[in-house]
Amino acid sequence: MSRVDLRGRAIAITGASSGIGAATAVECARAGMRVAISARRTERLEAVAERIRTIGGAVVVFACDVSRESECFAFIERASAEIGPLHGVFANAGYGVETPSLDMTNSEWEAMLRTNFWGTLWIVRAAVAQMREKPEPATGESRGHVLVCSSCLSKIGAPYHAAYSASKACQDHLARALRHELASERIDVSSVHPIGTSTEFFDELERNSPRSQGLSSSNTSLQPPERVARAVVACLRKPRGEVWTSAATRIALGLGTAFPSIADWGVARYMRSHMRE
């Protein structure tokens, strides 16, 4: 596939009030895209929107709680009405907790899956429905591009993060399945697999985890969100199935999948070095 010219194309991004979502919105605007951003905290969204406007970008802001199906569909409908037919959607909203897996209540498990997975499914379903309404593209061109912000943890069940890992694995499997199911319709689908990223995600995780073991907050090998954002825009320009920002992590997790005992050794070693006493 030839390189996609992003100038003037529209993209909708969830979870864009901070972190990876905010950085990606700014980077998409730098690439000339029209951007619709959403999150629950509209005051934070306005700050992101102002950054985009200062660089001459086009942006619209919407409140959206992705744990509510109706709000997901409303966001996509309003976004396309404001900035034009969507070329891209980046399902990025999500959160994590660090707690013993069996101590999480049913409602806590359901809440995380509802936001991280169901919110992704609803946003993608709404966006794809609109992409399907677009005219048949010229030979070699794409009708649209779906990106799902999964995680490196989608490839491994992390201790004290089982619900988060499971939700990210659900996203990963959904993206892979859709990549094949939508190929004949010329809709590209990519999953994004960040490693630990320097955002407020970890601050929120600690606040939401009264029994945190420090496995996440003690991680000092964090990448900036702008690195993920640049990788996402690169994928929009030249679509590929998976987006990784750490080749070493990708290789290690691939080996861990092929050799589970190696994965168990690595996880146990990490826990010994990072868990609070």
- Output the pLDDT for position 19: 93
Q: Return all residues near 45 (Cβ < 8 A) that are at least 6 apart.
A: 16, 17, 37, 38, 39, 61, 62, 63
In this predicted structure, the answer to whether residue 131 has a pLDDT above a threshold of 80 is yes
- Edge-to-edge strands, sheet with 58-63: 58-63, 34-39, 10-13, 86-91, 144-149, 187-193, 242-244
**For the chain, how far is it from start to end, CA to CA, in angstroms?**
52
In this predicted structure, the answer to whether residue 22 has a pLDDT above a threshold of 80 is yes
Alpha carbons within 13 angstroms on the beta-carbon side of residue 242 total 18
Measured over the CA atoms of residue 197, residue 201, residue 202 and residue 205, the dihedral's sign is negative
Where residue 6 falls among pLDDT bands split at 50, 70, 90?
very high
Q: If you average pLDDT over residues 114-134, what whole number do you get?
A: 97
Q: Which is more confidently placed, 156 or 11?
A: 11
Where residue 137 falls among pLDDT bands split at 50, 70, 90?
confident
Q: pLDDT tens across 61-93, in order?
A: 999 999 999 999 999 999 999 999 999 999 999
Report residue 129: phi and psi, to 5°.
Answer: -60, -40
Cα angle vertex 146, ends 165, 97, to 5°?
Answer: 20
Q: Which residues are catalytic?
A: 164
Q: Are 29 and 55 in contact (CB under 8 A)?
A: yes
Where residue 267 falls among pLDDT bands split at 50, 70, 90?
confident
Q: Report the predicted TM-score, pTM, of the whole model to 2 decimal places.
A: 0.90
* Complete DSSP assignment for 156-186: S--TT-HHHHHHHHHHHHHHHHHHHHTGGGT
Burial of 158 (0-12, 13-18, 19+ CB in 10 A): buried
Domain ranges of the chain: 10-247
Q: Which is more confidently placed, 277 or 40?
A: 40
Cα angle vertex 68, ends 63, 70, to 5°?
Answer: 80
Structural class in CATH, domain 10-247 = alpha beta
Task: Tell me the residue type at 171.
Answer: Q
Q: Are 40 and 13 in contact (CB under 8 A)?
A: no
Q: What is the CA radius of gyration of the chain?
A: 18
Q: Which residue has the tokens 């037919």?
A: 85
Angle between helices 247-258 and 260-274 (to 10 degrees): 120
